[in-house]
């Protein structure tokens, strides 16, 4: 069988993720529909069980679910998050609802069957996302490099936590969508048929519907087109040849957004509505150094293996030049925009969670780095292998610390980090080591972290 190693690695990582989740019993240890997930998920029971997009159903006697809404001045209620993740929850919600009805359970949208369904949804999209990454990398790299990249992304990054313990959060769903859209886009460039064009529009629209700032990934794909090593006349002709297919592409985007437009219009009177009231970006004062290197949530502190992907961008100049400038420009924009958000640490999380979906984009430079290393002296290969093993161990160990709350979800400091490094025991006076967040200062754009 061709490409055996990468398939074996994909299977092993997938099985390990399933085994980890089953052993953790997350549905018994915590409520799955909690925090941001309450907003993402709420559209489904509101639509299919309570038939109430005004979200007044929680006021009914006997309701036992957990629903959050923002109250508007006119008395209406609205969901803070858009409904993109709900589209990907939907098949699992349907299975849970049908099963609950068939077995005589409490079919209120919030009983245990629905919570368990979201756990399996996260695993499903993680496993499928990795498979899509494998297909993409196999187009450009050897099977060994592809296998190594899958191992690093699957087990060496905070993606693993958001596929197992926090699998109902949005990030693994965006990760899957990024990978699917990337693969469709590559094939669309070779053959822009109607179905591919429609799928590309639908996927791109859904990516932005889940998280509007992920439009940066769509811009990355656009740059890949313009940086192709082809004459400009040929690129221009490609766009002209699409003709009415542009309408299909744009139509796909609007089709996936239409329910959201209708929801906003019904509840606010506006087709477009900014629901993150009082939560600004500070583009003049981005927290880039904190976002990358702070002990609270530094991306490269808690997911250091991604530093190899950043180095790998520069190896693209010798191989796969078409990816060099799009990758470099895009990651700089992603870092700038991500850490310009007032809450640059993005609430409770393991590591910097908004970077997770962009591991799809960074899979190419990561693989390029590993490919470059494979052609170096054996000593460099050996050192890199040891480093990768260490990064994977560190990620899995710190994930365990995070699940047990030893690694604090939003208030880590340098002292706290090193006090628990490599340990599963609580240090003395731990509460004095952490640095609690000051959300009000951050909302005002003031520095609140040392």
Cα radius of gyration rounded to whole Å, the chain: 22
Is residue 328 a part of any domain in this protein? yes
Distance CA 445, CA 281 (A): 9
Is residue 179 a part of any domain in this protein? yes
Nearest in space to 447 (alpha carbons), one of 317, 289, 274: 289
Is residue 47 a part of any domain in this protein? no
Task: Give the range of the structural domain holding residue 150, as residue numbers without chain letter.
Answer: 4-28+116-443
What is the reported pLDDT for 319? 86
Nearest in space to 327 (alpha carbons), one of 367, 354, 292, 300: 367
Three-class secondary structure of residue 98 per DSSP: helix
Is residue 448 a part of any domain in this protein? no
Distance CA 237, CA 62 (A): 62
Residue 27, pLDDT > 70, answer no
- The residues near 99 (Cβ < 8 Å, ≥ 6 apart) are 105, 113
Do 156 and 393 meet the contact criterion of CB atoms below 8 Å apart?
no
Is residue 296 a part of any domain in this protein? yes
Fill in the DSSP letter of residue 341.
B
Across the range 355-372, mean pLDDT stands at 98
pTM over cut 0.85: yes
Nearest in space to 301 (alpha carbons), one of 356, 366, 365, 351: 351
Residue 265, pLDDT > 80, answer yes
Q: Hunting for tokens 């430079």 — which residue is that? A: 365
Q: Hunting for tokens 């997350």 — which residue is that? A: 26
What is the reported pLDDT for 301? 98
What is the reported pLDDT for 31? 81
Tens of pLDDT, residue by residue over 127-151, are 999 999 999 999 999 999 999 999 9
Residue 403, pLDDT > 90, answer yes
- The residues near 380 (Cβ < 8 Å, ≥ 6 apart) are 373
What is the reported pLDDT for 29? 62
Residue 65 pLDDT grade (very low, low, confident, very high; cuts 50, 70, 90): confident
Across the range 103-120, mean pLDDT stands at 94
Q: DSSP letters along 368-423, please?
A: HHHHHHTTS-HHHHHHHHHHHHHHHHHHHHHHHHHHTTSS-SS---HHHHHHHTT-
Residue 2, pLDDT > 70, answer no
Tens of pLDDT, residue by residue over 156-174, are 999 999 999 999 999 999 9
Across the range 293-298, mean pLDDT stands at 97
Residue 180, pLDDT > 60, answer yes
Tens of pLDDT, residue by residue over 28-44, are 766 899 999 999 999 99
Percent with pLDDT over 90 in the chain: 92
Tens of pLDDT, residue by residue over 195-212, are 999 999 999 999 999 999
Q: How many domains does the chain have?
A: 1
Is residue 153 a part of any domain in this protein? yes
Is residue 86 a part of any domain in this protein? no
Do 132 and 174 meet the contact criterion of CB atoms below 8 Å apart?
no
What does the mean pLDDT of the chain come to? 95
**What b/e sequence results for 296-334 when a residue is b if at least 16 CB atoms lie within 10 Å of its CB, and e otherwise?**
bbbbbbbbbbbebbbebbebbeeebebbbbbbbebbeeb
Rounded to 10 degrees, the C-alpha dihedral 229/234/240/246 comes to -20
Is residue 49 a part of any domain in this protein? no
User: Which class for 136: exposed (0-12), middle (13-18), buried (19 or more C-beta within 10 A)?
Assistant: buried
Tens of pLDDT, residue by residue over 347-363, are 999 999 999 999 999 99
What is the reported pLDDT for 62? 85
What is the reported pLDDT for 30? 65
Reading phi first (left if > 0) and then psi (alpha if -120 to 50, else beta), residue 211 is in beta
Distance CA 370, CA 273 (A): 44
| Structural tokens at position 145 | 């490099």
What is the reported pLDDT for 117? 96
Do 145 and 162 meet the contact criterion of CB atoms below 8 Å apart?
no
What is the reported pLDDT for 46? 96
Residue 288 pLDDT grade (very low, low, confident, very high; cuts 50, 70, 90): very high
């Amino acid at each position: 069988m061709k490409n055996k190693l990468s398939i074996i690695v994909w299977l092993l990582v997938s099985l390990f993720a399933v085994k980890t989740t089953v052993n953790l019993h997350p549905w018994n240890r915590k409520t799955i529909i909690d925090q941001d997930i309450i907003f993402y998920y709420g559209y489904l029971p509101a639509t299919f069980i309570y038939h109430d997009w005004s979200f007044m159903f929680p006021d009914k006697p006997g309701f036992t679910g957990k629903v959050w809404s923002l109250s508007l001045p006119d008395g209406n209620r609205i969901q803070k998050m858009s409904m993109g993740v709900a589209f990907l929850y939907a098949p699992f919600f349907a299975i849970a609802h049908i099963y609950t009805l068939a077995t005589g359970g409490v079919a209120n949208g919030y009983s245990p069957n629905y919570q368990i369904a979201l756990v399996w949804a996260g695993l499903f999209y993680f496993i499928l996302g990795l498979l899509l990454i494998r297909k993409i990398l196999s187009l450009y790299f050897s099977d060994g490099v592809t296998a190594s990249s899958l191992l690093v992304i699957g087990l060496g990054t905070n993606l693993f936590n958001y596929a197992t313990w926090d699998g109902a959060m949005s990030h693994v769903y965006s990760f899957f969508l990024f990978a699917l859209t990337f693969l469709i886009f590559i094939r669309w460039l070779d053959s822009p048929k109607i179905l591919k064009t429609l799928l590309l529009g639908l996927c791109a629209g859904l990516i932005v519907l889940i998280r509007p700032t992920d439009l940066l990934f769509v811009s990355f794909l656009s740059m890949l087109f313009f940086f192709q090593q082809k004459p400009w006349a040929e690129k221009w002709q490609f766009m002209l040849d699409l003709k009415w297919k542009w309408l299909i592409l744009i139509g796909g985007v609007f089709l996936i957004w239409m329910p959201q437009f209708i929801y906003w219009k019904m509840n606010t009177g506006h087709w477009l509505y900014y629901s993150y009231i009082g939560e600004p970006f500070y583009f003049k004062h981005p927290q880039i150094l904190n976002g990358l290197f702070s002990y609270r949530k530094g991306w490269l502190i808690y997911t250091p293996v991604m530093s190899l992907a950043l180095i790998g961008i520069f190896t693209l100049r010798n191989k796969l030049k078409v990816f060099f400038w799009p990758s470099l420009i895009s990651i700089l924009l992603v870092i700038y925009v991500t850490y310009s958000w007032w809450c640059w640490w993005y609430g409770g999380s393991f590591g910097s969670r908004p970077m997770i979906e962009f591991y799809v984009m960074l899979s190419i430079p990561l693989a390029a780095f590993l490919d470059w290393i494979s052609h170096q002296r054996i000593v460099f290969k050996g050192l890199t292998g040891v480093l990768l093993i260490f990064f994977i161990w560190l990620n899995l160990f710190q994930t365990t610390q995070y699940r047990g709350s030893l690694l604090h979800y939003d208030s880590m400091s340098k002292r706290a980090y090193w006090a628990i490094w490599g340990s599963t025991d609580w240090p003395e006076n731990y509460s004095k080591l952490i640095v609690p967040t000051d959300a009000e200062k951050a909302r005002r754009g003031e520095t609140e972290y040392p």
